[in-house]
Structure 1
Protein backbone atom coordinates (compact mmCIF):
# COMPACT_ATOMS: atom_id res chain seq x y z
CA UNK A 1 0.00 0.00 0.00
CA UNK A 2 2.83 2.36 0.86
CA UNK A 3 4.46 1.64 -2.53
CA UNK A 4 1.18 2.49 -4.28
CA UNK A 5 1.02 5.91 -2.57
CA UNK A 6 4.65 6.61 -3.35
CA UNK A 7 4.14 5.80 -7.05
CA UNK A 8 0.91 7.79 -7.15
CA UNK A 9 2.60 10.83 -5.63
CA UNK A 10 5.51 10.53 -8.08
CA UNK A 11 3.07 10.34 -10.99
CA UNK A 12 1.13 13.37 -9.69
CA UNK A 13 4.33 15.34 -9.17
CA UNK A 14 5.54 14.52 -12.70
CA UNK A 15 2.14 15.51 -14.13
CA UNK A 16 2.13 18.86 -12.30
CA UNK A 17 5.71 19.53 -13.38
CA UNK A 18 4.98 18.67 -17.02
CA UNK A 19 1.81 20.81 -17.00
CA UNK A 20 3.62 23.81 -15.50
CA UNK A 21 6.44 23.56 -18.07
CA UNK A 22 3.90 23.35 -20.92
CA UNK A 23 2.00 26.35 -19.54
CA UNK A 24 5.13 28.46 -19.12
CA UNK A 25 6.28 27.54 -22.65
CA UNK A 26 2.89 28.52 -24.04
CA UNK A 27 2.96 31.88 -22.34
CA UNK A 28 6.41 32.74 -23.60
CA UNK A 29 5.49 31.70 -27.16
CA UNK A 30 2.41 33.94 -27.11
CA UNK A 31 4.35 36.86 -25.68
CA UNK A 32 6.88 36.72 -28.53
CA UNK A 33 6.24 39.75 -30.75
CA UNK A 34 7.78 37.99 -33.76
CA UNK A 35 5.00 35.39 -33.85
CA UNK A 36 3.89 34.70 -37.43
CA UNK A 37 0.24 34.19 -38.26
CA UNK A 38 -0.09 31.65 -41.08
CA UNK A 39 -3.05 32.56 -43.25
CA UNK A 40 -4.46 29.76 -45.38
CA UNK A 41 -7.07 29.72 -48.11
CA UNK A 42 -8.64 26.34 -47.54
CA UNK A 43 -11.96 24.84 -46.53
CA UNK A 44 -10.07 23.04 -43.73
CA UNK A 45 -8.30 26.11 -42.41
CA UNK A 46 -9.26 28.01 -39.30
CA UNK A 47 -6.76 30.83 -39.88
CA UNK A 48 -7.43 33.17 -42.75
CA UNK A 49 -9.97 31.41 -44.96
CA UNK A 50 -12.69 33.75 -43.65
CA UNK A 51 -12.79 37.12 -41.90
CA UNK A 52 -12.39 36.88 -38.12
CA UNK A 53 -15.64 36.07 -36.32
CA UNK A 54 -17.16 37.99 -33.45
CA UNK A 55 -15.35 35.79 -30.93
CA UNK A 56 -11.90 36.07 -32.60
CA UNK A 57 -9.10 37.57 -30.54
CA UNK A 58 -7.74 41.07 -31.06
CA UNK A 59 -4.19 42.13 -31.88
CA UNK A 60 -3.19 45.62 -30.67
CA UNK A 61 -0.93 47.27 -33.25
CA UNK A 62 0.08 49.96 -30.75
CA UNK A 63 2.03 47.31 -28.82
CA UNK A 64 3.40 45.08 -31.61
CA UNK A 65 3.26 44.35 -35.32
CA UNK A 66 1.10 41.62 -36.82
CA UNK A 67 3.42 39.38 -38.86
CA UNK A 68 1.78 37.07 -41.37
CA UNK A 69 2.67 34.38 -43.89
CA UNK A 70 0.50 33.23 -46.81
CA UNK A 71 1.56 29.77 -47.99
CA UNK A 72 -0.77 29.54 -51.00
CA UNK A 73 -3.59 31.77 -52.24
CA UNK A 74 -5.58 31.80 -55.47
CA UNK A 75 -8.35 34.19 -54.48
CA UNK A 76 -8.39 35.75 -51.01
CA UNK A 77 -7.28 35.34 -47.40
CA UNK A 78 -7.98 37.37 -44.28
CA UNK A 79 -6.20 38.17 -41.04
CA UNK A 80 -7.21 35.67 -38.37
CA UNK A 81 -7.52 38.37 -35.69
CA UNK A 82 -9.13 41.76 -35.31
CA UNK A 83 -6.61 44.61 -35.48
CA UNK A 84 -6.89 47.71 -33.28
CA UNK A 85 -4.66 50.44 -31.89
CA UNK A 86 -3.79 52.31 -35.08
CA UNK A 87 -5.19 55.46 -36.69
CA UNK A 88 -2.95 54.70 -39.66
CA UNK A 89 -1.96 51.20 -40.82
CA UNK A 90 0.93 50.05 -43.05
CA UNK A 91 0.53 46.68 -44.80
CA UNK A 92 3.65 45.23 -46.42
CA UNK A 93 3.82 42.39 -48.93
CA UNK A 94 7.23 40.73 -49.09
CA UNK A 95 8.84 37.79 -50.88
CA UNK A 96 6.14 37.68 -53.58
CA UNK A 97 6.24 34.40 -55.46
CA UNK A 98 4.09 32.88 -58.20
CA UNK A 99 3.91 29.17 -57.26
CA UNK A 100 1.41 27.97 -59.90
CA UNK A 101 0.95 29.78 -63.21
CA UNK A 102 -1.99 29.36 -65.55
CA UNK A 103 -1.78 32.68 -67.39
CA UNK A 104 -3.16 36.15 -66.96
CA UNK A 105 -2.08 38.83 -64.51
CA UNK A 106 0.52 37.62 -62.01
CA UNK A 107 1.91 40.78 -60.44
CA UNK A 108 -1.10 42.29 -58.67
CA UNK A 109 -2.68 42.13 -55.22
CA UNK A 110 -5.57 44.10 -53.72
CA UNK A 111 -5.31 44.83 -50.01
CA UNK A 112 -8.40 45.96 -48.09
CA UNK A 113 -8.86 47.16 -44.53
CA UNK A 114 -12.38 46.24 -43.43
CA UNK A 115 -14.69 46.98 -40.53
CA UNK A 116 -17.74 44.85 -39.77
CA UNK A 117 -21.00 46.62 -39.18
CA UNK A 118 -24.68 45.98 -38.76
CA UNK A 119 -25.34 46.49 -42.50
CA UNK A 120 -22.30 44.49 -43.61
CA UNK A 121 -18.60 45.06 -43.97
CA UNK A 122 -17.16 48.41 -45.02
CA UNK A 123 -13.79 48.16 -46.77
CA UNK A 124 -11.20 50.53 -48.15
CA UNK A 125 -9.00 48.94 -50.81
CA UNK A 126 -5.66 49.68 -52.45
CA UNK A 127 -3.87 47.82 -55.25
CA UNK A 128 -0.21 46.92 -55.54
CA UNK A 129 0.97 46.14 -59.08
CA UNK A 130 4.31 45.30 -60.64
CA UNK A 131 5.33 42.66 -58.11
CA UNK A 132 8.01 40.28 -59.34
CA UNK A 133 9.57 37.18 -57.77
CA UNK A 134 11.01 38.07 -54.39
CA UNK A 135 9.56 41.55 -54.68
CA UNK A 136 8.00 43.66 -51.98
CA UNK A 137 5.83 46.74 -51.63
CA UNK A 138 3.42 48.31 -49.17
CA UNK A 139 0.26 50.36 -48.86
CA UNK A 140 -0.92 52.62 -46.04
CA UNK A 141 -4.42 53.30 -44.80
CA UNK A 142 -5.16 56.52 -42.90
CA UNK A 143 -8.09 58.03 -41.02
CA UNK A 144 -8.79 54.86 -39.03
CA UNK A 145 -10.26 54.89 -35.54
CA UNK A 146 -7.66 53.33 -33.23
CA UNK A 147 -10.37 51.89 -30.97
CA UNK A 148 -12.27 50.19 -33.82
CA UNK A 149 -11.70 46.55 -34.78
CA UNK A 150 -10.51 46.00 -38.35
CA UNK A 151 -9.35 43.02 -40.41
CA UNK A 152 -7.22 42.93 -43.55
CA UNK A 153 -8.16 41.07 -46.74
CA UNK A 154 -5.58 40.06 -49.36
CA UNK A 155 -7.04 39.34 -52.81
CA UNK A 156 -5.34 38.21 -56.03
CA UNK A 157 -6.88 37.99 -59.53
CA UNK A 158 -9.05 34.91 -60.03
CA UNK A 159 -7.23 33.33 -62.95
CA UNK A 160 -6.17 30.06 -61.25
CA UNK A 161 -2.66 31.36 -60.48
CA UNK A 162 -1.43 30.68 -56.94
CA UNK A 163 0.95 32.83 -54.91
CA UNK A 164 2.83 32.87 -51.65
CA UNK A 165 4.14 35.86 -49.71
CA UNK A 166 4.58 37.20 -46.23
CA UNK A 167 4.68 40.57 -44.55
CA UNK A 168 3.83 42.79 -41.64
CA UNK A 169 0.90 44.92 -40.63
CA UNK A 170 1.98 47.79 -38.43
CA UNK A 171 0.93 51.11 -37.00
CA UNK A 172 2.28 53.84 -39.27
Structure 2
Protein backbone atom coordinates (compact mmCIF):
# COMPACT_ATOMS: atom_id res chain seq x y z
CA UNK A 1 0.00 0.00 0.00
CA UNK A 2 1.25 3.46 -0.94
CA UNK A 3 1.55 6.20 1.65
CA UNK A 4 -1.08 8.07 -0.39
CA UNK A 5 -3.66 5.28 0.06
CA UNK A 6 -3.64 5.12 3.86
CA UNK A 7 -6.85 6.48 5.41
CA UNK A 8 -6.37 9.37 7.82
CA UNK A 9 -8.86 11.53 9.71
CA UNK A 10 -8.40 15.29 9.84
CA UNK A 11 -8.53 17.15 13.14
CA UNK A 12 -12.07 18.19 12.07
CA UNK A 13 -13.14 14.55 11.72
CA UNK A 14 -13.10 14.28 7.92
CA UNK A 15 -11.92 10.97 6.44
CA UNK A 16 -9.36 11.30 3.66
CA UNK A 17 -5.99 10.01 2.47
CA UNK A 18 -2.69 11.74 1.82
CA UNK A 19 -3.40 11.65 -1.93
CA UNK A 20 -3.70 15.47 -2.08
CA UNK A 21 0.03 15.59 -1.22
CA UNK A 22 1.10 13.29 -4.04
CA UNK A 23 4.02 14.98 -5.79
CA UNK A 24 4.83 17.10 -2.72
CA UNK A 25 7.56 16.78 -0.12
CA UNK A 26 6.06 16.08 3.31
CA UNK A 27 7.37 16.30 6.85
CA UNK A 28 5.14 14.08 8.99
CA UNK A 29 5.41 14.72 12.73
CA UNK A 30 3.85 13.19 15.84
CA UNK A 31 3.00 16.19 17.99
CA UNK A 32 1.86 17.03 21.53
CA UNK A 33 0.88 20.48 22.75
CA UNK A 34 2.00 19.88 26.37
CA UNK A 35 5.39 18.45 25.46
CA UNK A 36 8.68 20.15 26.28
CA UNK A 37 9.42 20.04 22.54
CA UNK A 38 6.20 21.96 21.71
CA UNK A 39 8.21 25.13 20.94
CA UNK A 40 9.19 23.25 17.76
CA UNK A 41 5.68 24.02 16.47
CA UNK A 42 6.93 27.51 15.60
CA UNK A 43 9.87 26.13 13.60
CA UNK A 44 7.63 23.63 11.83
CA UNK A 45 5.21 26.41 10.93
CA UNK A 46 8.10 28.51 9.63
CA UNK A 47 9.21 25.65 7.35
CA UNK A 48 5.64 25.16 6.16
CA UNK A 49 5.25 28.87 5.39
CA UNK A 50 8.65 29.13 3.69
CA UNK A 51 8.26 26.18 1.32
CA UNK A 52 4.52 25.56 0.86
CA UNK A 53 4.49 27.33 -2.50
CA UNK A 54 7.23 24.94 -3.70
CA UNK A 55 5.22 21.81 -2.93
CA UNK A 56 6.06 21.19 0.73
CA UNK A 57 3.77 20.49 3.67
CA UNK A 58 4.18 19.77 7.35
CA UNK A 59 1.54 17.30 8.54
CA UNK A 60 0.93 17.05 12.29
CA UNK A 61 -0.43 13.94 13.99
CA UNK A 62 -1.14 14.52 17.70
CA UNK A 63 -0.30 11.63 20.00
CA UNK A 64 -0.82 11.04 23.73
CA UNK A 65 1.38 7.94 24.07
CA UNK A 66 4.27 9.76 25.72
CA UNK A 67 3.45 10.86 29.28
CA UNK A 68 -0.06 11.79 28.08
CA UNK A 69 1.24 15.14 26.83
CA UNK A 70 -1.70 15.54 24.45
CA UNK A 71 -4.67 15.60 26.81
CA UNK A 72 -7.40 17.29 24.81
CA UNK A 73 -9.85 16.04 22.24
CA UNK A 74 -9.35 16.99 18.60
CA UNK A 75 -11.18 20.32 18.93
CA UNK A 76 -9.10 21.30 21.98
CA UNK A 77 -5.88 20.25 20.24
CA UNK A 78 -6.73 22.32 17.16
CA UNK A 79 -7.55 25.34 19.32
CA UNK A 80 -4.33 25.02 21.35
CA UNK A 81 -2.23 24.68 18.20
CA UNK A 82 -3.82 27.73 16.62
CA UNK A 83 -3.91 29.98 19.69
CA UNK A 84 -0.65 29.00 21.38
CA UNK A 85 1.53 28.28 18.37
CA UNK A 86 -0.13 29.93 15.34
CA UNK A 87 -0.35 26.61 13.49
CA UNK A 88 -1.94 26.65 10.04
CA UNK A 89 -0.34 23.50 8.62
CA UNK A 90 -2.64 20.45 8.39
CA UNK A 91 -3.41 18.64 11.63
CA UNK A 92 -4.96 15.22 11.92
CA UNK A 93 -6.93 13.39 14.56
CA UNK A 94 -5.05 12.11 17.61
CA UNK A 95 -3.51 8.68 17.00
CA UNK A 96 -1.19 6.07 18.45
CA UNK A 97 2.24 5.84 16.82
CA UNK A 98 3.51 2.72 18.63
CA UNK A 99 2.15 -0.63 19.71
CA UNK A 100 -0.68 -2.83 18.51
CA UNK A 101 -2.94 0.17 17.86
CA UNK A 102 -0.33 2.18 15.96
CA UNK A 103 -1.88 4.01 13.04
CA UNK A 104 -1.08 2.35 9.67
CA UNK A 105 0.66 5.54 8.51
CA UNK A 106 3.12 5.36 11.39
CA UNK A 107 3.54 1.61 10.89
CA UNK A 108 4.67 2.39 7.33
CA UNK A 109 6.88 5.31 8.41
CA UNK A 110 8.66 3.33 11.13
CA UNK A 111 9.15 0.34 8.83
CA UNK A 112 10.71 2.55 6.16
CA UNK A 113 12.88 4.75 8.38
CA UNK A 114 14.31 3.12 11.47
CA UNK A 115 15.53 4.99 14.49
CA UNK A 116 18.72 4.67 16.50
CA UNK A 117 20.23 1.18 16.34
CA UNK A 118 17.57 0.10 13.84
CA UNK A 119 14.69 0.62 16.25
CA UNK A 120 11.22 0.85 14.75
CA UNK A 121 9.46 2.35 17.75
CA UNK A 122 9.12 6.08 18.20
CA UNK A 123 10.83 7.22 21.39
CA UNK A 124 9.00 10.51 22.03
CA UNK A 125 6.88 13.32 20.63
CA UNK A 126 8.10 15.36 17.68
CA UNK A 127 9.73 12.51 15.79
CA UNK A 128 9.77 13.67 12.18
CA UNK A 129 9.67 11.72 8.90
CA UNK A 130 10.73 13.36 5.64
CA UNK A 131 8.91 11.99 2.59
CA UNK A 132 9.96 12.79 -0.98
CA UNK A 133 7.74 13.71 -3.94
CA UNK A 134 7.39 10.02 -4.85
CA UNK A 135 6.08 9.04 -1.42
CA UNK A 136 9.33 7.46 -0.25
CA UNK A 137 10.35 7.96 3.37
CA UNK A 138 13.87 9.30 3.00
CA UNK A 139 14.89 10.27 6.53
CA UNK A 140 13.79 10.10 10.14
CA UNK A 141 14.61 12.85 12.63
CA UNK A 142 14.38 12.53 16.40
CA UNK A 143 12.57 14.69 18.91
CA UNK A 144 15.66 16.77 19.65
CA UNK A 145 16.24 17.58 15.97
CA UNK A 146 15.10 21.17 15.60
CA UNK A 147 13.10 22.02 12.46
CA UNK A 148 15.84 24.41 11.30
CA UNK A 149 18.24 21.44 11.14
CA UNK A 150 15.90 19.72 8.68
CA UNK A 151 15.61 22.69 6.32
CA UNK A 152 18.65 21.77 4.18
CA UNK A 153 17.21 18.28 3.60
CA UNK A 154 13.88 19.79 2.56
CA UNK A 155 15.57 22.21 0.16
CA UNK A 156 17.53 19.38 -1.48
CA UNK A 157 14.35 17.39 -2.08
CA UNK A 158 12.54 20.40 -3.46
CA UNK A 159 15.42 21.38 -5.75
CA UNK A 160 16.50 17.94 -6.93
CA UNK A 161 14.45 14.91 -5.85
CA UNK A 162 17.32 12.56 -6.73
CA UNK A 163 19.42 14.08 -3.92
CA UNK A 164 17.00 13.06 -1.12
TM-score normalized with structure 1 length: 0.23
Structure in which a larger fraction of residues adopt helix:
2
Structure in which a larger fraction of residues adopt strand:
1
Q: Which structure has the greater CA radius of gyration? A: 1
